[in-house]
Chains A and B, each alone.
Chain A
Amino acid sequence: MVQSVAIFGNSHVSAIKTAWEEAKQDYPQVSFTFFAARANYMKYIEARDGVLVPTNEVTERSIGFTSGGKSKIDPKEYDCFLVYALGARPYLPDASVFYSDQVHQVTIANRRARQLAWRTVKQIKSVTDRPIIVGENPLPSLLSEQALRDSGDFEEGRVDYTYGVELAERLFYKEHNIRLQRQPLQTIDNGRWTKEEFCKGSERLAIGHRSDGSAHDETDTNHMNTAYGHIWLKAFMPLLQGLRDRGGSENLDKGAKWRFGLRSA
């Protein structure tokens, strides 16, 4: 029995996809299908008659290419869903300042509400009650501090990924019955940056375009490379194993008939 995972993503998912293509033989218990498009083109996905369909030509071509020829996402074909990146930046509050849980919660919820990742989660939820996992954008590498400052999206003070991610899990994802796959700690520097080695040589998401596989700009410190993807995949497997062990039932309504292991690959 193979656990079938549908992965929704944007350019960031390239690291995971390239790593998966190199290492899928190491993970025979799972099967990944990628539904990805560059930039914000995954916003052109809608739920219609119980399936998710692209409503834009670029999106249709992209998910067709990344999935190996699928033109729609039929939730019945998958045991669980991973929503990767799609604007879901990690929550990084200043840990030296006290904020109430409600302040954190409102901040996280309203920020998530504006992100494509959350729209995608809602689209998936509208057609299935199977488990959904979110993998947030990788932390930027240190080189992009100035870019973050320039964009006004830089938190001063004592910032720690683990502190923020625990808040996000407790106050947001758990509330919505969603699992969060954390960024592996061995890829993180000083609690808030992805190690520089992982942003070197990152590749553009392959979508059947002439730029497929080309490297991101040297100054790009937000996209990660295949080495990062390997570490992330390895960290992701225990979560999938956990879902298999639980029969995948934790997200199901009472009485739902679907269970892991009942479906053949």
Chain B
Amino acid sequence: MSTHPYSDLPESAFWRSAVAEKHLLDITDIWRPKFDIGANHQVATYGSCFAQHIGIALKTRGFQWLIAESAPYAMSQDDARLFNYGIFSARTGNIYTTSLLHQWARWAAGSEQPPEEVWHDGDRVIDPFRPRIERGGFASVSEMQASRAQAISAFRESIEKANFFVFTLGLTESWKNTAEGYEYPMCPGTVGGTFDPNCHAFENQEYISISKQLRSAIKLLRGMNKRLRFILTVSPVPLTATKSGHHVVVANSYSKSVLRAVAGDVYQRLPYVDYFPSYEIFTAPPFRGVFYDPNLRTPSKHGVAHAMDIFFGSMKTKVREKPRRRPRKPRKTDDGAAQVKSADVVCEEELLEAFS
């Protein structure tokens, strides 16, 4: 019998043996990591909402989640989350696009200063680049600027200390200041600020631009830490809303497809970049959408656990999971506001749902 390139391929290369003949939870070998995260490796996490799950999983599974900007030690865990401490490695808020990552990298490298733009909400001050970072806003412009400077410093520190940088690519749709060229994480006027059609413009970024921004960001970050390695993921969380003019399903498909292609390309070309298929784990046909909540947008607790099982199960290093502490009794905050559950993710983009 003649041999050919397909004759020696493993089971995982064939749909029938890898998928069709298996229960969806038995679909294994879906990720072969380029690198092994060791128990002592420091891992920084940034990006869209889904990146938060990786950080939390790193911590609960005994790995070293690098937090370079911590809440005051006396602050409760629930309060810390309300103030966005311990969400990402620094208090950057969501970094949805590769261009926003590049913007943060330029600020951290000192090659560019953050813009002076400030938003106001009554007598409180909102950071246009972290609009939900401080509950109710800051007391003054100087306080907001000092807080952002702290976040930039911590972002840089996390880059310098980290062995791995996990980044979840979330969106292609973005909002820019046309006069100055900088980007906002959220459209002005939605969660803060005032929308001005003369200086605020929508851009649905394309492959070439996204790829260029990601490579530039990686280059800048590696300039701060030559040993830094990257694990890219594409968020499986669909768009909350689209300004593209297309149906949100079509717009979502475009965004995720482009992001997936960019991540794959960068992974192929750069030896220090890996790609973890969280997007596929949630969205591929074999999984039939079972890893989402009923709104078919929010990753379910079980889905996240399954994805994280694959992430850590694929690693050579096995770390004993930390015993979970008994949860504290829920408390009300001073103003009676409901508190964020520790396992909930913080996602500014979801606020767009209020406009539907």
Binding site for B on A (CB under 8 A): 91-94, 97-104, 106-111, 113, 153-156
Check A153/B334 contact, CB under 8 A, given A100-B134, A100-B139, A110-B79. no
In this assembly, does B331 line the interface, its C-beta being within 8 Å of a C-beta of chain A? yes
Task: Report how far A99 CA is from B74 CA in the complex, Å.
Answer: 13
- Given A103-B83, A106-B83, also A155-B75 (CB < 8 A): no
Is the CB–CB distance between B72 and A103 below 8 Å? yes
A110 and B77 CA atoms in complex are apart in Å by 11
Interchain nearest-CB distance for A151 vs B (Å): 11
Cβ-neighbour of A107 out of B79, B147, B149 (below 8 A): B79
Evaluate contact between A154 and B73: CB separation under 8 angstroms. Answer: yes
B139–A101 contact, CB under 8 A? Answer: yes
Which of A91, A102, A111 contacts B136, CB < 8 Å?
A: A102
Residues on the A chain within 8 Å of B83, using CB:
102-103, 106
> Is B146 part of the binding interface, using a Cβ–Cβ cutoff of 8 Å?
yes
Instruction: Check A91 against B74 for contact (C-beta < 8 Å).
Output: yes
Residue of chain B at shortest CB distance from A104 = B72
Given A101-B143, A106-B79, A106-B334, A155 and B73 touching (CB < 8 A)?
yes
Tell whether B150 is near chain A: CB-to-CB under 8 Å. yes
Q: Tell me whether A111 and B74 are in contact (CB under 8 A).
A: yes
Using Cβ atoms and an 8 Å threshold, which residues of chain B touch A104? Answer: 72
| Residues of chain B within 8 A of A92, CB atoms compared | 74
Q: How many A-B residue pairs have CB under 8 A?
A: 65
Q: Which of B126-167 contact A (CB under 8 A)?
A: 134-136, 138-139, 143, 146-147, 149-150
Which residues from 11 to 45 on chain B have a C-beta closer than 8 Å to any C-beta of chain A?
none
A106 touches B134 (CB 8 A): no
- Besides A94-B72, A103-B71, A106-B83, 7 more A-B contacts (Cβ < 8 Å) are A99-B72, A99-B147, A100-B147, A102-B138, A107-B74, A110-B333, A110-B334
Q: How far does the alpha carbon of A230 sit from the alpha carbon of B111 in the complex, in Å? A: 57
Residue from A91, A94, A103, A153 with most neighbouring chain B CB atoms (10 Å):
A103
Separation of A236 and B135 alpha carbons in the complex (Å): 38
Q: How far is the CA of A113 from the CA of B334 in the complex (A)?
A: 10
Q: Which of A106, A153, A156 lies in contact with B75, CB distance below 8 A? A: A106
When distances are taken between beta carbons in the complex, the residues of chain A under 8 Å from B146 are 98
Which A residues lie within 8 Å of B139 (CB)?
100-102
Q: How far is the CA of A91 from the CA of B76 in the complex (A)?
A: 13
Once the chains bind, are B74 and A109 in contact (CB under 8 Å)? no
Say yes or no: B75 contacts A107, CB within 8 Å: yes
A and B contact pairs by CB, cutoff 8 A, 26 listed:
A91-B74, A93-B74, A97-B69, A97-B70, A98-B147, A99-B72, A100-B134, A100-B138, A100-B139, A101-B139, A102-B135, A102-B136, A102-B138, A104-B72, A106-B83, A106-B333, A107-B72, A107-B74, A109-B334, A110-B75, A110-B79, A110-B333, A111-B75, A113-B331, A155-B73, A155-B74
Chain B residues near A153: list those with CB within 8 A: 73
Identity of the chain B residue whose Cβ is nearest the Cβ of A91 in the assembled complex: B74
Among residues of B, the one whose C-beta sits closest to the C-beta of A155 is B73
Residues of A within 8 A of B135 (CB): 102
A170 to chain B, nearest CB (A): 12
Which of A94, A102, A104 has the most chain B CB atoms closer than 10 A to its own CB?
Answer: A102
Bound complex: CA A94 to CA B134 (Å): 19
Q: Are A98 and B150 in contact (CB under 8 A)?
A: yes
Chain B positions 34-75 with a Cβ under 8 Å from a chain A Cβ: 69-75
Contacts of A97 in B (CB 8 A): 69-70, 150
Contact among A93, A102, A155 for B134, CB-based, below 8 A: A102
CA gap between A154 and B74 in the complex, in Å? 9
Q: Are A107 and B136 in contact (CB under 8 A)?
A: no
Closest to A159 in B: B73
Give min CB distance, B119 to chain A, whole Å: 16
Question: How would residues 237 to 254 of chain B score, 1 for a CB under 8 Å from any chain A CB and 0 otherwise?
Answer: 000000000000000000
Contacts of A101 in B (CB 8 A): 139, 143
A66 to chain B, nearest CB (A): 30
Q: Which residues of A contact B71 (CB under 8 A)?
A: 99, 103, 107
Give Cα A150–Cα B82 distance, bound, in whole angstroms.
26
Min CB distance B201 to A, Å, is 31
What is the minimal beta-carbon distance from B47 to any residue of chain A, in angstroms? 24
Interface residues of B in 66-117 (CB under 8 A from A): 69-76, 79, 82-83
Residue of A nearest to B135 (CB): A102
A109 to B331 alpha-carbon distance, docked (Å): 13
